[in-house]
Chains A and B, each alone.
Chain A
Amino acid sequence: MGMGEPVWGPVHQDIVGLLADHPADVPAVVDHLTKLQDLLVRLPPLERSCPLADFNELYLTITTSVLNGLYDDRFADPVFLARLDVEFAARYFDALRYWTESSPATPRAWACLFRRMRGPDARPLPSAAAGVNAHINFDLPFALVTTFDSLESEPVDGTDQHRDYLEINQIFAERIPELRRGYLDNWQLMIDMLNGDIDDWYQGELVEYTRNVAWRNAQKIWRCRHDPEARECERVRLDDNAAALGRLLLSPLGAFLQ
């Protein structure tokens, strides 16, 4: 709105069409991410090196692993994990939709990555890292709360659901060597930075820790979920934190990751 050129350039209509659909299950999410990947790599001027495509590819890899895990009976409570996966992805698609509409509602955590799409200084590693940051530090806690709420369950440590949730860390770990061989040479280093709170980003923790932060944040939101004001407060706090970390990853400082 108000701008001359469509947000997604030549693939704008295709992306709008794709986002009009809301995938309802994990196979559909994988399908959606695959189609999105095909579109993103056609996005000028960077095409194959589009920073969002770097994140999307990584996300597709992880989600495909989750899907295979669901088919292979890897999780104790697949209902929970499948719902979580769908709800989690929905937030990424929502962010893309807001951005497509140039809406001020685009989470700032995401906006800092989306802005980079036109180049010129995009580097794959920090870009993928910024996406992971927005998705885990901002989207994941809310996805968890919505999932528990709809399943009439609760985020309690030590349950089947918590164990399944932690199992995803294992999937990350399994995929990391592969990713390291790919374009993400400093993957481990990047993950070290992703721990949710800007204050202790230098402490050098693992993705496990970040996902743990997301779980704790979900428990925190869970307790205040009936209080619209407190909930909104929490949302703004997480968006701010993730956005600050995202900007840092994408700043010249992030270049040392490359």
Chain B
Amino acid sequence: MASDVDLAPLVGRADHLATLRSALLDGVGPGQTAAVFVTGESGVGKTRLLREAGDRFRAGGALVLTGTCLDIGDSSPLHPLLQALRRFDAELTASHARTSSAVRGLLQMFAAETAGPDGAGALLERVSRGLHLVAQGRPLVLVLDDLQWVDRSTRQLLLYLLAGLGDLQLSVLAAVRAESLQGAHPLRRVLTELRRLRSVRVVDLAPLDRAGTEQLAAAVLGGPLGAEAAESLWQRSGGNPFVVEELARDLREGRDGLSETLREVFLARVDALPQAAHAVVHAVAAGVEPVAHWLLAEVTRLPEGELIEAVRAAVAHRLLVGDDDGYRLRHRLVAEVLAHELLPAERSALHRRYAEALTTAPAELHQARLAHHWRLAGEPARALPAAVAAAQEAERLHGYAEAHRHWSVALQLAGPPAAGVAPAGGGLTADRAELLRHAAEAAHHCGEHARALSLLEELADAEDAPPACALHIRRARYLAAAGRSAPAEAEYRRALAAADCTSRERATAAAHLAELLLHLGRYADAGDRAREALELAAQVEGSVSEVVLASMALGFSEAYLEDPDAGLAVMREALDTAERAGRPEDVACAYLHLAELLTGPLNILEEGVVVARRGAERVAELGLGRTYETRLLAIATNGLFRVGQWAEAEKVVAAALRHRPSGADAVELLLARCRLWVGYGDIAAADRDLEAVATVLAGGGARHVIPLLTLRAGLAMWQGRHDLARQAVQRGLTEVRSDDVGILAALVWHGLRAEAEAHAARASVDTTAVRRLREVAERVARKSEHAARPVRDVVDGFLALCEAEVSRLDGSDPQLWARSVTEWDRRHHPYPAAYSRLRQAEALLARRSRTATAGKLLREAYQVAQGLGAEPLSTEIRTLATRARVTLEERGASAEGRPVTGAEPSGDELTMLTAREREVLAAVAEGLTNKEIGQRLFISERTIGVHVSHIFDKLQVRTRVQASAIFLRNRPD
């Protein structure tokens, strides 16, 4: 096969290549990820740089997968990845049998994928597992060109893998055309978010400077340029390497004078082509690149010998390039030049030949390409079935955005609703309602809410429209998804009033309406609707989902209306109903709602944790591990954190993350784990999780931003970076809805604490920030006055902390801290209670009053902090105790308030250790390495390192042998 003609050397990019190598290969440790996005104008050499870098990575021992995104817009989900895998498979030789079977396994997995609940997330997980097998321990580099045309699924996959959720050592090198980022491209926002991360770089590829321009031209010409030619070349090319190279070639071939524009260069070359080569470039221009050799032969109908000669001529004129997988135009400019050269009839004839050739030979993107070519061949009736098949294919791979576009094309092809006249396809009217239904549903799934609603309007007007009630329910669903609660509520009410409404539909509408009202905070209304739904559902066999949903709404509304027992009873009954009926999703939902009710508004944490964990086991049995088990374990983790069982929480979160969740589930768990790291003072681990969360959130998800910023502030404070904490809180204050009083109160406390800590460290206090924070705190207090009791409970604890922190700016008030202690003790949250005790003691000691009380408070706080493993808090307590000459350890006292399992030693010298540290020490004494211990305890090697260093500190030893000796000496036998 003819490949590209003589390649000019790569000029002026040595630094970039070195940067890429260190950022993507040398600087990436095991299990880490990194990405570089190269932006630049067309012709600046992005593709070339990617190819050179890829070759070097390969030579450096990496496994490189190379794909290109397509601009046909309605291509297939994950296309660049599939293409990369196929290319890679084609390159593999017999000696790579294992890799080859891994690649084929992954490709088969795509072929066998079927649509289902959480399909998209499960697919991400399977892709990462597959890539794991393909990589076989080698560093994996994914090289993606033309990322401006990336499909949504690939975008999500990249963020998922870069966040480390796939547990894969991966680097991404991608090129983006700078022009595309100027308008409203979705990548623009993603890159803005990603460029802030340490592991990501955005490299702007500038045109060559004058010296580089001349160097490149000289290389093409085989000798130096004259001064006049050099100046002219510089003026015309602006240093764009593609232009420099093409103009220089013209010079070399002795065309009279330099062409004014690149367009002229290519026009002249097209004109100079022999007849058959002309046909070849036009055929490639009408095709979807790369155009395979056999396909080109079919379309041009040239005999083999002539075809090869024609291709050679087109390559020699630098209009075409050939590769193993087919032919492409050399540059977009060539396509633009060619676009005006053909008559419309000639072009549609080419498309027809493509379509005919493809009909008999399934290939990549088969249906999408068929639909594309038949449509442009002016054959809507033949394009329509292909468009429908392409849409179904996209839905199979959970690519609803692509599916929606295929359905929309299908609708266009089917033509407007016929008024007595049969449309082009004939007999298509019957399918129109069906097409509208699918198009609307796909639009709804990919977040095109307005489009989904307008398609539904068309459906309502269609000849065989669904009955009114079904339409109202559907419209309500779409409206609710778009966040438009008021019209959604009205639609549910219309559904309930519709004459053609079945009992089942009525139960469904009432249950969903109850849920909607609950979210709107109208608890009494929600309760009434939920009761109505339960009555309706009781009359209809098998409406268990409705029972579960309505019970949830009723349970929560009762809890908010301060009748917790009634609500709890309803929810428990719903769980029994679901278990009896046996549909796995209903059982899972019931467990989820019950656990949320207990750990949320009811604040019955221990029981909530037990329910969540039991539910997690149960749903795993039912085969819903990835989705519901993960969510239930997230609830358990957060509950365990709050009741102060951190070691247990750490285990649970590790177990949940083994499912490699994606999206909001992943964010929830990473935030939960990060909360633990911040408490432990494991800065590196906390940082890593915060980066991972930010990576996932770059793809959307504003809901989690405030918890992320709150954690960032908390972490910055332990590092003494009040400025960073202040920035995080300021950002949070400008991006939070004022009715989210709970998370707002936590954020304000962090802000005031940052100012108080700054004051204590004799750093400058931002008085404007203090004023604003106090205003927000007052607003929160005002708003929560009228809120339900459970909401008020959460807020009151934080407001107590806020008020006390403010007093630290002006002589800390022990009374205020005592109030905060009471608040948090009442809610059984030991961590903030211990923090408040520390501050109360500090305030008492500063006033030199009641030092005995202060000592007692410090000892209580210390015992809790030690039990939790809250290292930074313990350190602060120790520092204050030393200064105040308070003894923290009572002789012979052992740490209480945390579970100490039977086998664990509890000898005197080990009392300073947390439960977790003792587990680690026991393993150290067995002679295990950090890695082995990590595997045994389901935590990272690095975290084990942190535990070990804490153990050394506390035991005042410097080697593992010394630590083991102390452990063995104190082991109870």
A residues lining the B interface (CB < 8 Å): 1-2, 22, 24-28, 67, 70-73, 76-79, 82-83, 87, 90, 94, 101, 104-105, 107, 141-142, 145-147, 149-154, 156, 159, 221, 225-228, 231-232, 234-235
Contact = CB atoms under 8 A, between A and B. Distances in A.
A153 B736 CA distance: 17
A151 B700 contact: yes
B738 interface: yes
Contacts of B239: 1
Given A71-B772, A142-B183, A25 B730 contact: yes
A26 B736 CA distance: 13
B673 interface: no
A82 B188 contact: no
15 contacts: A1-B239, A27-B730, A28-B727, A28-B731, A67-B734, A71-B775, A73-B738, A105-B179, A145-B183, A145-B184, A147-B189, A151-B700, A228-B148, A231-B185, A235-B182
B313 interface: no
A4 B238 CA distance: 16
Interface in B134-165: 148-149
Classify chain B's interface size. 35 or more
Q: Which among A73, A221, A227 has the highest number of chain B CB atoms within 10 Å?
A: A73
B73 A226 contact: yes
Given A24-B196, A25-B730, A25-B731, A142 B484 contact: no
A105 B772 CA distance: 41
Contacts of A87: 189
A162 to B, nearest CB: 11
Nearest to B779: A73
B189 A156 contact: no
Nearest to B703: A79
Contacts of B449: 154
Given A1-B209, A156-B450, A225 B731 contact: no
Given A154-B450, A235-B182, A149 B189 contact: yes
7 cross-chain pairs, A with B, having the tightest CB-CB distances, nearest first: A145-B184, A25-B731, A150-B189, A70-B734, A235-B183, A142-B184, A82-B735
B209 A78 contact: no
Given A73-B779, A226-B405, A105 B184 contact: no
B734 A25 contact: yes
Given A104-B238, A142-B182, A231-B185, 9 more contacts: A28-B731, A71-B776, A73-B738, A77-B737, A82-B735, A101-B206, A142-B183, A221-B183, A231-B184
A70 to B, nearest CB: 4
B180 interface: yes
A152 to B, nearest CB: 5
Contacts of B700: 150-152
Given A27-B727, A77-B737, A105-B182, A22 B484 contact: no
Contacts of A24: 192, 196, 731
B189 A26 contact: no
Nearest to A24: B196
Given A105-B178, A142-B183, A150-B700, A156 B482 contact: yes
Contacts of B702: 79, 83, 151
Nearest to A221: B184
B189 A78 contact: no
Contacts of B705: 79
Nearest to A149: B186
Contacts, number: 116
Interface in B627-659: none
Nearest to A94: B182
A22 B482 CA distance: 30
A94 B727 CA distance: 23
Nearest to B453: A156
Contacts of A145: 183-184
Nearest to B186: A149
Interface in B196-215: 196, 206-207, 209-210
Interface string B412-446: 00000000000000000000000000000000000
A150 B193 CA distance: 11
A7 to B, nearest CB: 15
Nearest to A69: B734
Contacts of B148: 228
B770 to A, nearest CB: 13
A146 B41 contact: no
Contact of A228 (B180, B448, B450, B738): B180
Contacts of A73: 738, 779
B458 to A, nearest CB: 15
Contact of B73 (A90, A101, A227): A227
B195 interface: yes
B194 to A, nearest CB: 11
B927 interface: no
B467 interface: no
Interface in B706-745: 727, 730-731, 733-738
B184 A149 contact: yes
B488 to A, nearest CB: 13
Nearest to A67: B734
A141 B182 CA distance: 12
A129 B775 CA distance: 36
A79 B737 contact: yes
Nearest to B698: A150
Q: Which among A24, A149, A150 has the highest number of chain B CB atoms within 10 Å?
A: A150
A27 B729 CA distance: 11
Given A87-B189, A154-B449, A159-B484, A232 B736 contact: no
A79 B184 contact: no
Contact of A22 (B190, B195, B483, B737): B195
Q: Which among A71, A105, A227 has the highest number of chain B CB atoms within 10 Å?
A: A71
Contact of A27 (B186, B192, B734): B734
Given A22-B195, A228-B73, A153 B483 contact: yes
Contacts of A228: 71, 73, 148-149, 180
Contacts of A227: 73
A146 B149 contact: no
A127 B149 CA distance: 38
A212 to B, nearest CB: 18
B586 to A, nearest CB: 28
Contacts of A71: 733-734, 772, 775-776
A229 B637 CA distance: 48
B29 interface: no
Contacts of A104: 238
A70 B733 contact: yes
B17 to A, nearest CB: 22
A159 B484 CA distance: 8
Q: Which among B180, B482, B483, B730 has the highest number of chain A CB atoms within 10 Å?
A: B483
Contact of A234 (B183, B190, B209, B238): B183
A226 B182 CA distance: 15
A22 B197 CA distance: 12
A4 to B, nearest CB: 13
B53 to A, nearest CB: 24
A1 B41 CA distance: 16
Contacts of B738: 73, 78
Contacts of B776: 71
A90 to B, nearest CB: 7
A70 B772 CA distance: 11
B447 interface: yes
A105 B779 CA distance: 46
Nearest to A97: B204
A72 B778 CA distance: 12
Given A227-B73, A235-B182, A154 B734 contact: no
Nearest to A159: B484
B957 to A, nearest CB: 45
A156 B209 CA distance: 47
Contacts of A26: 731, 734
Nearest to B737: A78
Q: Which among A70, A83, A104, A146 has the highest number of chain B CB atoms within 10 Å?
A: A146
Nearest to B178: A105
B97 to A, nearest CB: 41
